Amino acid sequence: MNPATPTLEQIRNFEGKYPKQLWSLFTIEMWERFCFYGMRGMLTVFMVTQLGLADKAANLQYGAIQAFVYAFTFIGGVFADKILGFQKSLIWGASTMIVGGLVIAFSPHETGFYIGTCFSIVGTGFFKPNISTMVGQLYHEGDSRRNAGFSLFYSGINLGALMGGAIMIWVGKNYSWSIAFALVSVAMSISLIIFLATRKNLGPIGLSPFGPEVPVTKRKMLEVATYLGSLLCLPLVFVLVKNSRYTDLFMYIIGPLTLLWLGWEMRKFNRQQNKRICAALVFIMFSVLFWAFFEQSGGSLSLFALNNLRHSLLGVPMDPNVINNSANSLFVILFAPLIGIVWVWLSKRKLEPSSVVKFGLGFFLLGLAFLVFAWTKMFANPATGMTSLDIFTLGYFVITFGELCLSPIGLSLMTQLAPTSIQGLMMGMWFLASAYGQYVAGLLGAGMSTADAGAPAMVKLSAYTDGYQHLGVYALISGAALIAISPFVRRLMKGVH
């Protein structure tokens, strides 16, 4: 190893609160999240205004695209873990995403949009799961500074989401969709350059998973096969994304197969270990529901913002889509530290709720937020169908606290509840739960798009707000169900808070 390249022991024996490598990984992830949330915020608006899709079709396409992003995260993580290593997987993912942004920028029409989106799906799959894994490897097991490191990293994710969510939709709507999609390539190029310039500081973290017993020629052959295979699957992804009936088939198959795989693995473990796995499955199943509701932000709420919200927040001129895409991230940055302090304060007094109760609280707040979104109907102008951006933003304020009760603890629970030998599988299932959540989000959004394309704005507003009221009630029921079964789930978890 090059003398300038640190060893794993040197990296982990850092002084202070954060290892220096965390700052570069923070910045790399920030720019990737800029792209991801920027694209997420533009999808339905672009498909409706530029591709001519009806609201229902745009919601279904949104759900399909986002579902495949998360499904390929599972697949990309497996190949990174088994063949490429995290560093090469990150480089390949970033490069593929750069190409995807350029394809749409130079051809912002139907075919170019779908081709570029397929590149982004595959690229995100190779990029997304690896940064957080490398962050975890910066610390010794049991290092008390790990949580502080992940908290800083989480803020980087939301800073990128805030910037991308606000800037890209604003550029697309007011200047040029080509420039907006080109920003994906610009931001990912910055991310890749930073990684290449600082990767030596990571030492052995994220290098090839193969041991010295595997010949170099075999390693290269498998790596090249992975690159070619990911490119060869692009036509298949194109077909699956563009035709929702194929998306349905894929989602019907991948979930049951994963559960069968898990069931086969569970025969290796004792009774208590399998109880904990069952507890993890409870969290995974409920997270599908949570994300199905929460991810209306990129689908139906995005179209609601486009068509039914006034361009004024607290008297200041403001694009509603910018608020829709960035308010949640801003509130997370502002209030995540406060929530962390509250949990610590409660923990010291032995009053901190268990993880399953936190999940239940997350659903209660999610339900309350959707009731606030439904409440916007009370402030609508019947003639124009335009309603209050202030009340809409209040809904995002509430939903943020629901996310903070649920999202940060999910990945941690997967590592605590799963036996070491299948932690990768359980992480993959957690990401698949997000994929199913995105998929169901598209179906729910399409179900709320009942008004005809030429219907008055007030009719469209009523269709969406009635749907949000139903989602709010279902979320409250889900929260109550979780609280009711919490004693049972805690017995399954046994020893994990």
The answer to whether the CB of 309 falls within 8 A of the CB of 386 is: yes
pLDDT of residue 411: 65
Backbone angles phi, psi at 108, to 5 degrees: -80, 50
The answer to whether the CB of 312 falls within 8 A of the CB of 392 is: no
Q: What is the pLDDT along the chain (497 residues), one digit of tens a residue?
A: 455 778 877 777 777 777 888 888 888 888 988 998 888 889 888 998 888 888 888 888 888 888 888 888 877 877 877 788 888 888 999 999 999 999 999 988 888 999 999 999 999 888 876 777 777 777 776 666 766 676 677 777 788 889 998 899 999 989 999 999 999 999 999 999 999 998 888 888 878 777 777 788 888 899 899 899 999 989 988 988 887 777 788 888 888 888 888 888 888 888 888 888 888 899 889 999 999 999 898 888 998 998 889 998 898 999 999 999 889 989 988 887 787 778 778 777 888 788 888 889 999 999 999 999 999 999 988 888 899 999 999 999 999 989 888 776 776 677 677 776 676 667 778 878 888 888 888 889 888 877 666 777 788 888 899 999 999 999 999 999 999 988 888 888 876 65
And the tokens for 410? 């999910």
And the tokens for 227? 């690159």
Residues counted in the chain:
497
Any idea what DSSP says for residue 202? G
pLDDT of residue 311: 92
Question: What is the CB neighbour count within 10 angstroms for residue 69?
Answer: 25
The answer to whether the CB of 389 falls within 8 A of the CB of 323 is: yes
The answer to whether the CB of 122 falls within 8 A of the CB of 72 is: yes
Question: What is the CB neighbour count within 10 angstroms for residue 445?
Answer: 29
Q: Please list the residue range(s) of the chain that carry CATH number 1.20.1250.20.
A: 1-242, 244-497
Any idea what DSSP says for residue 243? -
- Give residue 94's identity as a one-letter amino acid code: A
Q: How many CA atoms lie within 13 A of 361 on its CB side?
A: 16
Q: Which residue, chain included where needed, has tokens 């709507």? A: 173
Alpha carbon distance 45, 51 (integer Å) = 9
- Mutual angle of helices 389-417 and 271-294, in 10-degree steps: 160
State how far Cα 464 lies from the chain centre: 24
Q: Could you tell me the fold of the domain covering 244-497?
A: Growth Hormone; Chain: A; (1.20.1250)
| Largest distance between two CA atoms of the chain | 74
Any idea what DSSP says for residue 309? B
Q: How many CA atoms lie within 13 A of 262 on its CB side?
A: 23
Q: How many CA atoms lie within 13 A of 254 on its CB side?
A: 21
CATH of domain 1-242: 1.20.1250.20
The answer to whether the CB of 75 falls within 8 A of the CB of 69 is: no
Three-state DSSP class for 312? strand
